[in-house]
Amino acid sequence: MNSNHLLHTDLKPLLLPLPLGISFYTFQAMSYLIDLYRGKVEVQKDFICFGTYVALFPQLIAGPIVRFSDIATQLKERKESDSLFANGVRRFSVGLSKKVLLANNAGLVFDQIAKQQGESVSVLSVWIGILMFTFQIYFDFSGYSDMAIGLGNMFGFTFPENFDYPYTSKNITEFWRRWHISLGTWFREYVYIPLGGNRKGLRRQIFNLLVVWALTGIWHGASWNFMIWGLYFGVILILEKIFLINWLKKIPVIFQYGITFFLVMMSWVIFSFDSPHQIFWYFQSLFACNGNKIIDLQGLYLLKSNFILLTIMSFGVTAFPKKVAASVRSYLVETKIGTVFFCGLQMIGMLFLYVIVIAFLVSSSYNPFLYFRF
Give the Cα separation of 106 and 308 in Å (integer).
12
Higher pLDDT, residue 328 or 140: 140
pLDDT at 13: 63
pLDDT at 102: 93
Distances 68 to 6, 30, 43, 216 between C-alpha atoms, Å? 39, 10, 11, 21
For the question of residue 8 being annotated catalytic, the response is no
Of 69-73, 74-78, 193-197, 227-231, which has the strongest mean pLDDT?
227-231
Confidence band for 132, pLDDT divided at 50, 70 and 90: very high
- Residue 353 CB burial class (10 angstroms; 0-12, 13-18, ≥19): middle
Q: What are phi and psi of 259, to 5 degrees?
A: -65, -45
Measured over the CA atoms of residue 175, residue 181, residue 186 and residue 189, the dihedral's sign is positive
pLDDT at 16 over 80: no
Name every residue whose Cβ is closer than 8 Å to that of residue 45 and which is 6 or more positions away in sequence: none
Residue 276, classed as helix, strand or coil, is helix
**Average pLDDT over the chain, rounded to whole?**
85
CA 82 to chain centre: 30
Distances 9 to 3, 88, 203 between C-alpha atoms, Å? 7, 52, 35
Query: What mean pLDDT is predicted for residues 201-216?
Result: 92
Residue 266's nearest CA partner among 229, 305, 315, 215 is: 229
> Do 344 and 141 form a contact (C-beta atoms < 8 A)?
no
Residue 260's nearest CA partner among 245, 278, 241 is: 245
pLDDT at 329: 79
Confidence band for 14, pLDDT divided at 50, 70 and 90: low
Least confident of 164-168, 194-198, 242-246, 254-258: 242-246
pLDDT at 19 over 80: no
Helices (H), the chain: 2-7, 22-38, 47-54, 57-60, 68-77, 82-97, 104-114, 123-154, 172-178, 181-187, 193-195, 202-220, 224-239, 245-248, 253-272, 276-286, 297-305, 307-316, 320-332, 336-363
Q: What is the percent of the chain where pLDDT is above 70?
A: 89
Of 69-73, 169-173, 245-249, which has the strongest mean pLDDT?
169-173
Confidence band for 336, pLDDT divided at 50, 70 and 90: low
Q: Count CB atoms within 10 A of the CB of residue 47.
A: 8
Residue ranges of domains in the chain: 2-77, 82-316
Phi-psi bin for 8: left (phi > 0), alpha (psi -120 to 50), beta? Answer: left
Confidence band for 371, pLDDT divided at 50, 70 and 90: low
CA 104 to chain centre: 15
Q: What is the percent of the chain where pLDDT is above 90?
A: 40
Give the Cα separation of 85 and 94 in Å (integer).
14
Least confident of 165-179, 227-241, 307-321, 335-349: 335-349
Confidence band for 293, pLDDT divided at 50, 70 and 90: confident
CB burial string 168-192: b at 16+ within 10 A, e below: bbbbbbbbbebbbbbbbbbbebbeb
CA atoms within 13 A on the CB side of 252: 3
pLDDT at 6 over 70: no
pLDDT at 18: 63
Confidence band for 368, pLDDT divided at 50, 70 and 90: low
Query: What mean pLDDT is predicted for residues 141-149?
Result: 91
Least confident of 118-132, 145-159, 286-300, 354-368: 354-368
CB burial string 229-239: b at 16+ within 10 A, e below: bbbbbbebbbe
From 5, 8, 220, 277, active-site residue: 220
Q: What are phi and psi of 65, to 5 degrees?
A: -70, 120
